[in-house]
Amino acid sequence: MDMKTGKKGYLHGIPISVKENYYLEGYDCTGGMSIYLDDCVTEENTLIKILKKQGAIPFVRTNIPQSMMTYECSNPIYGQTKNPHDVTRGPGGSSGGEAALIAAKGSILGFGTDIGGSIRIPSHFCGVYGLKPTVGRISKKNMLPFQSGQTLVQAAAGPLASDMGGLVAVMKSLLVPAMFEQDPTCPPIEFRNEIFESKRPLRIGYFLDNGYITPVPACQRAVSLATEVLQTRGHTIVKFDPPDMYACFELFLLSTFGDGGESFIEALKDDLVDPALKLAHMGLILPRWLNLFLGWVLSKFGRDKMMYILSKSMRGPGSVGKYWKIAERNEAYKKQMLRRWRANKLDVLICPGFAFPAVRSGNVFNVMGGVTYTVLFNLLNYPTGSMPVTKVTCEDEANMADYPSKTAYEKAMKKDNVGSTGLPVNIQCAAQPYQEELVLRVMAELEQGLKAQN
């Protein structure tokens, strides 16, 4: 307690919502899987401990998809969460309950986790602010241990908020000596105000299309709008060529499904499998050859080789030796990206928040390829924020007439996009590892610039 101000800490009296996979003393922590039900947690999540010390008050736990490895926010324990902007659509996931609650004004600040986009996808679907930090910048101790032995592409804990002030306040209150004492694995880098408040003009890269799935017009327009605003603030904007997305998604899956889905099958073996996971579950339990054959058929009919890559990679690399090779390929991918980044002298990179706005409930599998927009920054382990920039307009919807419809994902996206007018659209902003303050600086400037325009 600060005797002068009477305040307990940086977040004195602020109510916070918390994703269900964070340990909260006295509650069970399930990830939507009944195997973890009624197993009361006796330890508190480290971030929650620090936040409480800073005066925050956890008041609600929020819903997730079963297993958290999809962005359809439903599970057989708590049911389905809907999108407050359109209840026929989902809020995204896996931190979908968080984003939906914040968008519905039931919370101003919450906490999620992100291994493939789980903070940023729901932020985009619900039009709220989210930050996926570099893995380890803030503690991830005392979470649901599901698949925590997989260390190639790890989940990061991070905040979601109703504005930039919320994200900044959280990072300032967590990047303090108390956290480094609680979790000595976090590098002791306190919040660097000098980076956040710097006025140095930046070189900002951007891309509109990742070369695999073309974002719908509203998602491309959001990036153009963001770069225009940032340019008027004196920054240099440069077009950037994103790296190979097929390799990215393949490496992501071979890493996160490195055990061939064994932990996934084990966790769900006596459970009801949520409809959103049925196909993935089937792909894991079928004989390998049959899964490969069906994946091949899907990719031929869907005219999209990613479908084959998906079905093959989710069965894992097959041996420890091959898994190590994946680790080497991940490092090579990061190195290649760093070379490109340096060649362009980038400070940050802006790109679509996702390939499309919130999808209709039950439709996530049909448009799964969109996840390449978020997975990229998990594979690279770049801190990445997501923030609302615009909403889908009637004109954006009309422009869908020219949208490609060659592959199954494109066709499904085109269909799903009908009636999307009014849905929020975010952009992502990424930087090199441990440059959270730079990401926040650019997002805060963009928020200010957008406000000045309206």
Ligand X SMILES: CCCCCCCCCCCCCCCCCCCCCC(=O)NCCO
Residues that bind ligand X (CB under 6 A): 68-71, 94, 113-118, 155, 279-280, 282-283, 291, 294-295, 298, 310-311, 314, 368, 371
| Residue 308 C-beta: closest distance to ligand X, Å | 9
Is the CB of 22 or the CB of 240 nearer to ligand X?
A: 22
Output the CA angle 237-239-244, nearest 5 degrees: 140
The verdict on whether 19 is a catalytic residue reads yes
Residue number, 307 or 427, with CB nearest to ligand X:
307
The tokens of 191 are what?
Answer: 């919040």
Do residues 117 and 374 make contact, with C-beta atoms less than 8 angstroms apart? yes
* Options 95, 107, 118, 123, the catalytic residue: 118
Q: Which amino acid is at 116?
A: G
Quote the least distance from Cβ 5 to ligand X, whole Å: 36
Q: Which lies closer to ligand X via its Cβ, residue 54 or residue 62? A: 62
- C-alpha to C-alpha distance for 405 and 422, rounded to whole angstroms: 23
Tell the smallest beta-carbon distance from residue 405 to ligand X (Å). Answer: 21
CB of 283 to ligand X, least distance (A): 4
> Is the CB of residue 126 less than 8 Å from the CB of residue 358?
yes
**Quick check: is 325 catalytic?**
no
| 118 is known as an active-site residue | yes
Least separation in angstroms between CB 100 and ligand X: 16
Instruction: List b or e across 94-126, with b for residues whose CB sees 16 or more CB atoms inside 10 angstroms.
Output: bbbbbbbbbbeebbbbbbbbbbbbbbbbbbbbb
74, 94, 139, 361: which is the annotated catalytic residue?
94
Instruction: Residue 60: count other Cβ atoms within 10 Å of its Cβ.
Output: 14
Q: Please, which residue, 93 or 215, has the CB nearer to ligand X?
A: 93
The CA distances from residue 187 to 44, 151, 158, 183, 432, in Å, are 21, 18, 16, 9, 15
Tokens of residue 160, six digits: 């979601």
> Could you give the maximum distance between any two Cα atoms of the chain, in Å?
69
Q: Give the residue with the Cβ less far from ligand X, 32 or 166.
A: 32
Residue whose token pair is 């708590």: 78
Catalytic-labelled residue, pool 17, 19, 49, 139: 19
Residues annotated as catalytic (active site), given as ranges: 19, 94, 118
